[in-house]
């Protein structure tokens, strides 16, 4: 194809799908097939990708790139023996091709052979034009093995190449979090922010480290910086709300939780948090409203069912409590906590009757 514009590629895709419906066969150059196959892979349409691979190899049987895509499809289909044979064949043709090692690494990783996957990725490093991506993949393999110290080293290397990669930053901080190395994470993030002061993700993660260390005032400030940089950062509002709860500033917590409802679709979790904060300030009627909203969003959200039951018991409204717990059991009939609460409520009602 002489013109590689997006329009030409979209036309190729339309023509291919039309061909499948009519059983006519059109000729495509190998680049068109590569575009079509990658499009279907990215769209999760592996069956269509496979059809394109078969036709592509019929028209271009010696295409190295199409054979690589076939190997990728075989790996996706867990046909690792076939994929391995094909990759070995391609290795003899072009032994320095990065994708050979990346696909072998994917194959080994899927089979939980993480050490072999890392060996392949280290070979890929010798031939890649995207060192950061391969280093990231090595870090991920160490994460899968729960070797977080090693993963951390590779994520740091990636950030030295691309300091603005938020996914890598999040993964690095996860390694610290899971090992409860909050002080180390805090020191790293402070240094990182010196060079990247407008990274909302870094400020957000710093706030979470402060929170974990019970430095709640510092956490609030860090979340505020994240919000100043990105005022639609829902996670920062949620974490700020949780921090205000720790400080027993429940009105401020409610305010931050409520802001998230304007930024994304409501969730049972947010309604529950607002309900609990209203409980803390003795606004029981408001609390009931929000716990009901939580249950409406997610009927299986156990915490709000239990909160409602406890609120009605506290108010000595045992018939209301019984109505709620019976509804809860109807939705989750195997929930032992609901059943125990029902027994307690019935016991209280029987006492009231006997009086």
In terms of phi and psi (left: phi > 0; alpha: psi -120 to 50; beta: otherwise), the region of 5 is beta
pLDDT digits (tens, 9 = 90+) for 241-252: 999 999 999 999
- Mean pLDDT score, 41-51: 86
Q: Give the DSSP letter string of 74-122.
A: HHHTT-HHHHHHHHHHHHHH-TT-HHHHHHHHHHHHHTT-HHHHHHHHH
DSSP letter, residue 316: T
Please check whether residue 71 is in contact with residue 90, taking contact to mean a CB–CB distance below 8 angstroms: yes
pTM, rounded to two decimals: 0.85
Please check whether residue 49 is in contact with residue 37, taking contact to mean a CB–CB distance below 8 angstroms: yes
In this prediction, residue 353 carries a pLDDT of 57
pLDDT class for 6, splitting at 50, 70, 90? low
Please check whether residue 139 is in contact with residue 151, taking contact to mean a CB–CB distance below 8 angstroms: yes
Q: Provide the b/e sequence for 323-345 (b: ≥16 CB within 10 Å).
A: ebbeebbeeeeebeebeebbeeb
pLDDT class for 7, splitting at 50, 70, 90? low
The mean pLDDT of the chain is: 92
Q: Give the DSSP letter string of 342-353.
A: HHHHHHHHHHHH
Of 152, 149, 112, the C-alpha closest to 135 is 152
> Which H/E stretch holds residue 217?
helix 216-229
Helices and strands in the chain, H and E counts: 20, 0
pLDDT class for 355, splitting at 50, 70, 90? very low
Q: Domains in the chain, please, with CATH?
A: 182-251 (1.25.40.10)
In terms of C-beta distances under 8 Å and separation of at least 24 residues, what long-range contacts does 77-85 make, across chains too? 77/46, 78/110, 80/107, 80/110, 80/111, 83/107
Q: Which residue has the tokens 């490093």?
A: 125
């Amino acid at each position: 194809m002489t013109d590689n514009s997006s329009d030409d590629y979209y036309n190729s895709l339309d023509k291919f799908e039309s061909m499948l419906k009519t059983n006519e066969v059109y000729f495509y150059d190998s680049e068109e097939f590569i575009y079509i196959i990658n499009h279907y892979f990215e769209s999760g349409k592996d069956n269509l990708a496979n059809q394109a691979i078969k036709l592509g190899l019929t028209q271009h049987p010696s295409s190295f790139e199409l054979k690589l895509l076939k190997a990728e499809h075989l790996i996706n289909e867990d046909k690792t023996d076939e994929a391995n044979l094909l990759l070995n064949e391609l290795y003899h043709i072009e032994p320095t091709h990065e994708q050979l090692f990346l696909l072998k690494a994917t194959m080994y990783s899927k089979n939980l052979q993480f050490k072999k996957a890392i060996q392949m990725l280290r070979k890929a490093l010798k031939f890649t034009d995207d060192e950061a991506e391969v280093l990231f993949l090595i870090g991920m393999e160490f994460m899968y093995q729960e070797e977080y110290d090693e993963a951390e080293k590779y994520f740091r290397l990636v950030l030295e190449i691309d300091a603005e990669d938020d996914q890598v930053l999040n993964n690095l901080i996860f390694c610290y979090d899971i090992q409860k190395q909050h002080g180390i994470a805090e020191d790293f993030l402070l240094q990182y922010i010196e060079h990247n002061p407008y990274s909302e993700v870094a400020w957000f993660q710093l706030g979470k480290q402060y929170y974990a260390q019970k430095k709640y005032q510092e956490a609030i400030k860090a979340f505020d910086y994240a919000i100043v940089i990105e005022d639609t950062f829902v996670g920062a509002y949620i974490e700020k709300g949780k921090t205000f709860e720790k400080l027993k500033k429940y009105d401020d917590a409610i305010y931050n939780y409520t802001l998230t409802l304007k930024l994304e679709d409501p969730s049972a979790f947010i309604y529950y948090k607002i309900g609990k904060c209203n409980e803390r300030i003795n606004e029981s009627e408001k609390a009931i409203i929000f716990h009901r909203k939580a249950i409406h969003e997610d009927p299986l959200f156990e915490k709000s069912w239990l909160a409602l039951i406890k609120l009605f018991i506290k108010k000595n409204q045992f018939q209301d409590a019984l109505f709620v717990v019976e509804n809860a059991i109807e939705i989750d009939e195997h929930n032992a906590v609901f059943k125990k609460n029902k027994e307690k409520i019935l016991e209280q009602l029987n006492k009231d009757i006997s009086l």
